[in-house]
């Protein structure tokens, strides 16, 4: 089915919880970094995104952003939900993390 509502865990231990999935494909929830994150990043942070209509596309694409609490950072995720041969739902995503830069000269190092 590939509906994003619920709890998801990455290979690195990060956790995404989608608490609200709207009829239009919009969703919100929270994101918690995995054990590799520093102590200052341990706070759960809000996320918002959207997903293709799973009724029209069996393996829909999605995107969401995480606005990190207490830090001048935003991460954007873009991916697709796949349904395996055993019916298991798997998310594959790419991400970009953007930190605030102090000046245009520092812009080059603000995106990972």
Domain range spanning residue 18? Answer: 6-106
Instruction: Give a yes or no: residue 111 inside a domain.
Output: no
Instruction: Give a yes or no: residue 112 inside a domain.
Output: no
pLDDT confidence of residue 42: 61
Query: pLDDT tens digits, residue range 31-73?
Result: 998 775 655 446 789 999 999 988 888 899 999 999 998 788 9
Question: How many domains are there within the chain?
Answer: 1
Instruction: Give a yes or no: residue 58 inside a domain.
Output: yes
Q: Count of CB atoms within 10 A of residue 64's CB?
A: 24
Query: pLDDT tens digits, residue range 76-107?
Result: 999 999 998 998 999 999 999 999 999 999 99
pLDDT confidence of residue 39: 53
pLDDT band at 27 (very low <50, low <70, confident <90, very high): very high
List, as own/partner pairs, every contact residues 35-41 make where C-beta atoms lie below 8 angstroms and the sequence separation is at least 24, other chains included: 36/12, 40/70, 40/71, 41/68, 41/71
C-alpha dihedral sign at 66, 52, 28, 38 = negative
Instruction: Give a yes or no: residue 43 inside a domain.
Output: yes
Instruction: Give a yes or no: residue 65 inside a domain.
Output: yes
pLDDT confidence of residue 91: 94
CATH code for the domain in which residue 98 is found = 2.40.128.30
Instruction: Give a yes or no: residue 22 inside a domain.
Output: yes
Instruction: Give a yes or no: residue 86 inside a domain.
Output: yes
Instruction: Give a yes or no: residue 1 inside a domain.
Output: no
User: Rounded CA gap, 100 and 70, in Å?
Assistant: 12
């Amino acid at each position: 089915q590939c509906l994003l509502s619920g709890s998801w865990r990455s290979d690195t231990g990060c956790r995404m919880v989608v608490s609200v999935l709207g009829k239009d494909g919009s969703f919100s929830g929270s994101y918690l970094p995995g054990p590799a994150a520093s102590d200052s990043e341990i706070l759960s942070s809000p996320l918002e995104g959207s997903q293709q209509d799973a009724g029209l596309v069996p393996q829909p694409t999605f995107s969401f952003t995480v606005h990190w609490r207490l830090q001048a950072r935003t991460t954007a995720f873009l991916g697709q939900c796949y349904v395996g041969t055993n019916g298991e739902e798997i998310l594959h995503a790419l991400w970009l993390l953007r930190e605030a830069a102090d000046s245009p000269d520092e812009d080059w190092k603000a995106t990972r």
